[in-house]
Structure 1
């Protein structure tokens, strides 16, 4: 007689813990998914909005924000496997805007105080976020480069850019880098550049390439860069904390959502919407080393390369708020490197989304966990609801 991969009693405990976050007003509703050795459990709790509207559904479509990053990294590896892109080739051929870069002498230097880049930016730099520019983890306006990025419409944030890809790249090309290529890890911007690179290499819009090479083969029928009109009733409200008084405010609503129409910029860093079932299909493919049923999406070596830690201790030291002492970064995913908690298992990989989502795969346990809320994060450190979900998922393991 086979033993259940999760304890039903302990899954009930997880439901109660997660429902408590909804009952206390942290968010109007959420969806959880846990899977292990072919056993899948999905739980929809609460409602789509605080106003008591429709109940949360298993197929609710969420703005997954930075959980887009692993998907776009996988798409880049499809092109690497076809020899249409190469990891250590300069991106200048397809992204001439990034040729002949200059680099700030110091983080606090004026924009014009630069030196020449020591080498070109490569695809590997984009995938590992070591291209030399990205989110500056300091209060807005602390450094001149932050002001320059904000004025150019390039400041990383929860909402996709409002520029065309070509205009976005031209503006990025006019700014200096913050680090020499390959020397420093900086969050987010590499994935947006990667999305443009994929589109140009494939000769088609990013969404079409993702649809043809990932979404259709994986059966991800509700994933894309916007929600079609006929599906808008499945898009919940998105909420954030009001910085003035700490109250909860609407960040985006289905009636006038920026995700309710095709975007000007298909953000590889955070533009996708998806469902628990769709993201599980992608996560399961990655856990199965690139295979989906009888079909192979990526090779096993590609997935192993993507999910290895590519950062040096010095690069991690500069991003401690993201990695602490127990994580690193692969290609578009964080990778656990040391066990220091219930859910921190060496080899576990995935990422979180700044609008309140989290998804990781654990090869050692053959486990996928996905948490989907629509409550914007307030810092890079995981909120309590994330911590409780991952604790609850691992305590439910039955063997």
Structure 2
């Protein structure tokens, strides 16, 4: 662990115990192999690498840093890079119809859809498929707008019928509706698979809908045809060997089987049995790899396409892959990871964090990421020159997978970044404040979901933001506009607030001219207390009175509690996550340096400046004022009251 890379060693050390606590909490029946490997790199150097727990379900074989995992859909970025290598070589055109390389797909049709006139919802019917408006292109494959979706997933259980497997997995079965199925088996080739797709209907018009599916497996076959090589050989010669990815491939050789992490299921379904060589080289989900190998793969695009002096991709190809590839008219269907509610768009092979207000995955705008079916996950943050990896094996949909995926590793890593020394403020001369003055600052302060100044979740630019009660809002000249289409079961929705409504007053105070931060401070407060508003409902010309009862914040909140003990102000993190040096059950004393600022004797020399409302009451705080500042709203009084 290297403090020189801008991390706090003590805060990075929180990572392993966090995982171990989850391994201790979940049994085998929860579908989680009790082990993980977590590497973190910054600036091209390794900052953290830890093997945690065990690589077998029986907890007899300790996890190793070079343990081998099935990475499932983390294969897709690798296959996408393979395609872009051929673009660099002049052998592949991303704008060309797929049929230029795979003529057997030239006559694919679009599935017949019916629309309910009452609801406007569409579903698949038994009518004849129609010709597409335009052919699918190689670009469509790279960005999942081809119309090729995952309609079956019965390939995981080839000994069972389509209806049984699909019903178990809750998958739409438009192919089954037409009495057809894809041949996707480990003992058949990519050519066999593509030929079996030729008679199947597309779920969507090419280019109109982003929906996850078969696209990258078809792309893998395109790579074979364009390169004249089997897909596994192309990956080996153009990616794995140049990047020294020594343990990555489509199966685990016998001499390495002692490093293969167990399946989270009692046995591996046939298509996912990576212990023997396959005939199917699935770029969509077939690869196995190690933490160190995949870290080297991630470093390559972060370096602009090269690693250790070896160029794999041109900078132009990297730029294409890491820029938004979904036009504004493209719909997002069937995903939690991509779309407006996730604040994420898609490039040519990677998800891209685009909107920090709506995103639930921490990181800078422009960060790249993707995950695998069994819980492997990576992200690349160009702004921080940071790469993070989580290598675990967990059953899809299980409690164990939900416990580790997307919930902890990002927040723990960003929370471990220190404030640059060049921005640190020298310690000021302490001053003495009375107990009464300190008590004025006591209370609980809410940072939303943001653990560090590098993780800009929620408030992004002072114009839009996250209320904490589940509503997205935006400041306008006359007040606060509610702009989220579906408010769910939030207190605002229960009180009658709808998308499009305008809040003009809160507790008798007009909102005109206020900043978003000021308005959010007014909205936040102790649970079960009442806010009185004046609101102009959508389509109405005059304001009406409305009362909303505050509810408890979501469990992922980052909160800091300040209290007075023995004449000093003590700080402790009380939310779901630690923040900088502050943790649960670890009180950190502050020393006053002025009537409104306090400093902690910690690694960051953390400073707090308090914010007051128009009435002079403390309404929030700023942690480390300056370039790396974080804002919090006061939501409860301290225990002294």
Q: How does the TM-score come out when normalised to structure 1?
A: 0.89
Q: For structure 1, list consecutive stretches of 5 or more residues without a partner in the other structure.
A: 240-248
Tell whether the 8 Å contact from 1:153 to 1:161 is kept in structure 2 after alignment: no
**What CA distance in whole angstroms lies between the structure 1 residues aligned with 2:247 and 2:329?**
40
Residue 19 of structure 2 corresponds to which residue in structure 1?
18
Give CA-to-partner distance per residue, 1:8-66, whole Å, 9 cap, x none: 11011112111111222343111111111224311101111121221000000100000
**What CA distance in whole angstroms lies between the structure 2 residues aligned with 1:59 and 1:28?**
16
Residue 371 of structure 1 corresponds to which residue in structure 2?
390
Residue 33 of structure 1 corresponds to which residue in structure 2?
39
Distance 1:251 1:391, change over 3 A: farther
- Where in structure 2 are the equivalents of 1:303-342 lying within 5 Å? 303-319=318-334, 321-323=336-338, 324-340=341-357
Tell whether the 8 Å contact from 2:5 to 2:47 is kept in structure 1 after alignment: no
Residue 84 of structure 2 corresponds to which residue in structure 1?
77
Residue 181 of structure 2 corresponds to which residue in structure 1?
152
Which deviates the most, 135-144 or 385-394? 135-144
How far the C-alpha of 1:215 sits from its partner, in A, is 0.3
Which deviates the most, 387-396 or 346-355? 387-396
Residue 225 of structure 1 corresponds to which residue in structure 2?
250
How far the C-alpha of 1:376 sits from its partner, in A, is 2.5
Residue 200 of structure 1 corresponds to which residue in structure 2?
225
Choose from 102, 111, 120 the match for 2:135: 120
Higher helix fraction (1 or 2) = 1
Give CA-to-partner distance per residue, 1:325-344, whole Å, 9 cap, x none: 41011111100002245723
- Where in structure 2 are the equivalents of 1:94-173 lying within 5 Å? 94-106=101-113, 108-110=123-125, 113-136=128-151, 144-147=173-176, 152-153=181-182, 161-173=186-198
Distance 1:257 1:201, change over 3 A: closer
Give CA-to-partner distance per residue, 1:227-268, whole Å, 9 cap, x none: 0111000001111xxxxxxxxx424299x9720111121101
- Residue 403 of structure 2 corresponds to residue 384 of structure 1: yes
Tell whether the 8 Å contact from 1:110 to 1:144 is kept in structure 2 after alignment: no
Distance 1:364 1:238, change over 3 A: same
Three-state SS of the structure 1 residue aligned to 2:408 is: helix
Tell whether the 8 Å contact from 1:108 to 1:143 is kept in structure 2 after alignment: no
**What CA distance in whole angstroms lies between the structure 2 residues aligned with 1:286 and 1:55?**
32
Higher strand fraction (1 or 2) = 2
How far the C-alpha of 1:170 sits from its partner, in A, is 1.4
- Residue 268 of structure 2 corresponds to residue 252 of structure 1: yes
Distance 1:395 1:316, change over 3 A: farther
Which deviates the most, 302-311 or 221-230? 302-311
**What CA distance in whole angstroms lies between the structure 2 residues aligned with 1:48 and 1:143?**
34
Larger Rg over CA atoms: 2
Distance 1:154 1:131, change over 3 A: farther
Distance 1:253 1:108, change over 3 A: closer
Structure scoring higher RCO (CA < 8 A, sep ≥ 6) equals 1
Give CA-to-partner distance per residue, 1:111-143, whole Å, 9 cap, x none: 552211122221101101111121259966775
How far the C-alpha of 1:316 sits from its partner, in A, is 4.7
**What CA distance in whole angstroms lies between the structure 1 residues aligned with 2:368 and 2:304?**
12
Residue 367 of structure 2 corresponds to which residue in structure 1?
348
**What CA distance in whole angstroms lies between the structure 1 residues aligned with 2:376 and 2:172?**
30
Three-state SS of the structure 2 residue aligned to 1:217 is: coil
**What CA distance in whole angstroms lies between the structure 2 residues aligned with 1:284 and 1:270?**
21
How far the C-alpha of 1:171 sits from its partner, in A, is 1.1
Residue 69 of structure 2 corresponds to which residue in structure 1?
62
Residue 381 of structure 2 corresponds to which residue in structure 1?
362
Distance 1:162 1:327, change over 3 A: farther
Distance 1:5 1:202, change over 3 A: same
Q: How many residues align?
A: 383
Three-state SS of the structure 1 residue aligned to 2:14 is: helix
**What CA distance in whole angstroms lies between the structure 2 residues aligned with 1:296 and 1:32?**
26
**What CA distance in whole angstroms lies between the structure 2 residues aligned with 1:315 and 1:378?**
28
**What CA distance in whole angstroms lies between the structure 2 residues aligned with 1:48 and 1:190?**
32
Choose from 376, 393, 397 the match for 2:413: 393
- Where in structure 2 are the equivalents of 1:271-310 lying within 5 Å? 271-310=286-325
How far the C-alpha of 1:390 sits from its partner, in A, is 1.5
Q: For structure 2, list consecutive stretches of 5 or more residues without a partner in the other structure.
A: 27-31, 114-121, 153-165, 420-641
**What CA distance in whole angstroms lies between the structure 2 residues aligned with 1:378 and 1:146?**
23
Distance 1:73 1:265, change over 3 A: same
Q: How does the TM-score come out when normalised to structure 2?
A: 0.56
Three-state SS of the structure 1 residue aligned to 2:51 is: strand
Distance 1:291 1:318, change over 3 A: same
